[in-house]
Each structure stands twice: as structure tokens, then as C-alpha cells.
Amino acid sequence: MSGTAPQGRERRICVLISGSGTNLQALIDAQNTPALPSARISLVLSNRKAAYGLTRASQANPPIPTAYLGLQPFLKTNPGKTRDDYDVAVARIVAEENPDLVVLAGWMHIMGEGFLDVINGERPFDGEKRVDKPIPVINLHPALPGAFDGAHAIERAYEAFQKGEIKHSGVMVHRVVKEVDRGEPLLVRKVEILPGEPIEAFEERLHQVEWKLIVEGTAKVLDEVAPVKPVSS
């Protein structure tokens, strides 16, 4: 699963989303360009049925396969199952894709141990079947390391700025571990908050940084686990 990518072999990315998919769109636009060479999004998975990101994937050229699995519908149709069982079910869908990398791009569900145990190869996902090697998982978070972990980070940062508690915020791409938003930061960018600007203006500038950073972070990890084999002269 990891190692040098043979010539002509596209590196596979699985993207998990929950919403409109603007960060996903940045990856769609970058795949197989110099920013993200020899790379293809092989699956977009959402935990929300109405997520517009699923439409972005289906309208891509060529169309990207999609999947949907929501927590509450899963629990309702599987009496006795738990949130951990749901996380394992999500991991099973991902593992079957055999990706080189999993990118959480606006995935609004905190993954429990079940997901990472499967993705890391510590737990079987289909009978005795396990992933051959741990699959790296990265997340885009609209805050600096150690600041505003979890949900509503943009709003919380903006409010803290108004109170004079911070001078800027930022964006990071980090590895996903069992502690929320506490994995090793891979890329970090500061984003200024301008005095007097409305939150919408700050949010738009922050999103512009996100769209670049998610591509850079994806390329960075792909080059670590499946570097593109140089073309022979």
C-alpha cells in the first residue's frame, strides 16, 4: 500500500466530507496537476446525505464514486449497534478502497478508536481481513495547533480576537489521532484577523488559505508514503 508509486500508477485518495465540499473541490481541481501529481480521488464518503460535496464529486470529470453512511440511520437500522460500530463501518468502506491516504475535509464527526484501529491495521474490518499497512489519515482544521480544538473554531477565534485575547488565528493540516485535533501538525499557516472586519470577511480569507493548505498537506503525505517514481531518461 505504501512505497514508491510505479510509473503510471495513480495514488489513491479517499476524502471524507459532511458539507458543501469547498475543500474537496480544491482537491478535485488539483488532482493530476503539478500540485498533486499522479493522484486520484477514488472515493468521496459523506455522513450527511444532502452534503453538496457529493454532487461536486459526481459532477467531476471523470465522476468520482461516492458513498453515504450517516450515524443515526446506521443506528436505527442496526439495533444494538453503537457509535463505535458505526466508526468501524466507515473504516470498512474506506479500507475496501485500499487508498494511499485518507483526507478529512470538513468531516463533522469525531472518529472513535474503532475507525483508527481498523485504518491502522490493529483491528479486522471484514472477518479476519485487515489493512496491509497503516493508512495515513489527515485533517484540515481552521485554527492553530492547540487553539480552538473541535467545532466552531472560526467563530471562537473571531470572538477571542474581539475580546483582545488573540492577535491572529490560522489553519493547520495535521495527522489524525484519537485525541481531537491533537495529531502532529504537518502544515500551519497564520491568518490575520483585521480590526473592524466582519466575520464573513475573515472567514473568506481563511477559506482561501484552507484550499491551498489541504492540497499541500495531501501532496506532502502522499510523497512520504507513495512517492512518484521518477521517469527514466
CA distances from 199 to 25, 60, 98, 162, 203 (A): 23, 31, 40, 10, 6
Instruction: Note the helical H segments in 168-198.
Output: none
d(CA 214, CA 194): 24
Extended strands (E) in 11-77: 11-17, 39-46, 66-68
Catalytic one of 109, 141, 152, 168:
141
* CB of 1 closer than 8 Å to CB of 27: no
Instruction: Map 127-149 to HEC letters.
Output: CCECCCCCCCEEEEECCCCCCCC
26: left (phi over 0), alpha (psi -120 to 50) or beta: alpha
CA 57 remoteness from chain centre: 15
Catalytic status, residue 109: no
Spatial CA neighbour of 15 closest among 7, 3, 23: 23
Q: Is 8 helix (H, G, I), strand (E, B) or coil?
A: coil
CA atoms within 13 A on the CB side of 185: 15
d(CA 20, CA 47): 12
Active site residues: 141
